[in-house]
Amino acid sequence: MFGTKRRRLQREAFEQPFPEHWRPILSRNWPLWNSLTDEARERLEELTKVFVAERRWESARGFELTEPMKVLIAAQACLLILELDEDYFRHVSVIIVHPTTVVLQGPRASDISGMVSDGPQPILGQATDRGPVVLAWDAVAFDARHPARGQNVVFHEFAHKLDMLDGTVDGTPPMPDEAARQRWVKVCTREFKSVRDDVWDPVLRDYAATNPGEFFAVATEVFFTRPDALRDAKVDLYEVLANFYHQDPASAATPG
């Protein structure tokens, strides 16, 4: 029954034209949109309208979640699967949007060492396996407008969803074959060790050293927001990300 409903929503969304008033929303609020080719934008429009229609959207703490907010979140999320199968987001059913930073309570593993922390932890987003994606709207809006910072909470959390497809958060999303997987593991292990060893990094922020899953999510943020810098500083890491996403954002105009 649920699969039937999903297919119906997909069919209805595909049959509808992309709403004209969504384009200026993206153009004004997301510089990366303006750097895409016409062909890429057309494909992204198709993915975005289905994503908006297919997911359940919830707001928290009395926050008013508007259509433009959904469109901006959806378009950014769908950029990750622009050249992948849209089924890669099959476990994304609910997006919960908070007005601002969310504070987690309770015990949790803090890093790869297994150390446990039970203090309050402010977060801008969270993704859980087969669970909702949680986002802080003020961070979403700010990151979208300022890609040169190299941070994007939507890219980050939806990269986690790709990582979770095989049921393990290990920084390795689904690979097409064993050779690609071995190349990925070799490159990412080396780069992860570098940030873990406190080696100064020109493009990856310190949070990449938390664990392999966070490394992949942070690297994804930089791949789409500062692709030229990542390619120049870490050509092998850029290469494996480009091979996975089937995109080469460094070849496009750098957004302002």
Predicted pLDDT at 62: 87
Helix (H), strand (E) at residue 93: none
Predicted pLDDT at 5: 60
Split into its structural domains, the chain has a count of 1
70-85 residue pLDDT tens:
999 999 999 999 999 9
Q: Tell me the mean pLDDT in the region 160-164.
A: 98
Coil vs helix vs strand at 167: coil
Q: Is pLDDT of 96 > 60?
A: yes
Q: In this structure, is residue 228 part of a structural domain?
A: yes
Structure confidence at residue 116 as a pLDDT band (50, 70, 90):
very low
Q: Is pLDDT of 7 > 70?
A: no
Q: In this structure, is residue 25 part of a structural domain?
A: yes
Average pLDDT over the chain, rounded to an integer: 90
Structure confidence at residue 102 as a pLDDT band (50, 70, 90):
confident
- Percentage of residues in the chain with pLDDT exceeding 70? 87
Q: Tell me the mean pLDDT in the region 227-233.
A: 97
Q: Is the CB of residue 215 less than 8 Å from the CB of residue 172?
A: no
Amino acid at 218: V
Displacement of CA 195 from its chain's centroid (Å):
21
Predicted pLDDT at 51: 97
The residue behind tokens 């990366």 is 32
Q: Is pLDDT of 128 > 80?
A: yes
Q: In this structure, is residue 212 part of a structural domain?
A: yes
Q: Is pLDDT of 61 > 50?
A: yes
Coil vs helix vs strand at 44: helix
Q: In this structure, is residue 138 part of a structural domain?
A: yes
The residue behind tokens 């979140």 is 73
SS (H, E, C) 189-227: HHHHHHHHCCCCCCCCCHHHHCCHHHHHHHHHHHHHHCH
Taking the CA of residue 247 as centre, how many other CA atoms within 13 Å lie in the half-sphere pointing to its CB?
19
Q: What is the CATH number of the domain that holds 110?
A: 3.40.390.10
Q: In this structure, is residue 256 part of a structural domain?
A: no
Structural domain including 202 reads: 2-251
Q: Tell me the mean pLDDT in the region 196-218.
A: 94
